[in-house]
Amino acid sequence: MAPSILEFQEVDTVKEYFRVQDSFRDGYNHDTLPKGVLEMTPEGIAAIKESSEEEYKYDLFISYSTRDSKAARKINDTAEANGLTCFLAERDLKGGDEWADRIREALNNSREVVILVTPNSVESLWVQRELGAAWVLTKRITPILLNYAVKALPDFYKSKQCRKYRDLEKFCDEVLKRKQ
């Protein structure tokens, strides 16, 4: 029988972390694992900390290419007009911020991630990194399509239910229902 997740909230080495992860492979329903975040501890390499709804600072993390800032601002403005809180890098990153650290912190503190999918964003290394981090953190990821054909989507996006940019209000309603 697989061990309880509670028995392994902290680990001391990377090897121990992967041993614990391997122990869940057989006979354990991964869908029931608590959503969590990875964090560094003074005592060890990494720990898994369970997240709760009230810990989230942002409802949405908006991932986009800087070339698409205007469209990203519209997603932000529509979401905030509907009562959602958003992380938008161009607004929330301040001079002197270690931006990679702030991006990681914002992803950890967001309930969901929106990827603005455009010809620019599918070529953006940082959008790809944010997407990968969101996936590792088991965040709900919703691609928002702007000037991008569904047939041309990269494989990962094809497995996700996408929303069209023109349907932002509908998307915000969906997020609000999940938030309740």
Residues 110 and 66 occupy one common structural domain: yes
Structural domain tally of the chain?
A: 2
Q: Kindly state whether residues 18 and 62 are assigned to the same domain.
A: no
- The two tokens of residue 65 are 């290419």
Quick check: 20 and 8 in contact, CB under 8 A? yes
Are residue 23 and residue 70 in the same domain, yes or no?
Answer: no
- 165 and 76 within one domain: yes
Helical packing angle, 99-108 and 125-136, nearest 10°? 40
Residue 142: strand pairing partners: 114
On whether both 23 and 107 belong to a single domain, the answer is no
Query: What CATH number should be reported for the domain holding residue 81?
Result: 3.40.50.10140
Provide the residue-wise pLDDT of the chain in tens; the chain has 180 residues: 343 333 333 444 444 545 554 554 444 444 443 445 555 455 544 445 555 555 799 999 999 999 999 999 999 999 999 999 999 999 999 999 998 899 999 999 999 999 999 999 999 999 999 999 999 999 999 999 999 988 899 888 888 999 999 999 999 999 999 998
Residues 61-90: tens digit of each pLDDT: 999 999 999 999 999 999 999 999 999 999
Residues spanned by the domain of 15: 5-50
pTM above 0.85, yes or no: no
Residues 97 and 10 in one domain: no
CB 110 within 8 A of CB 58: yes
* Shared-domain flag, residues 111 and 71: yes
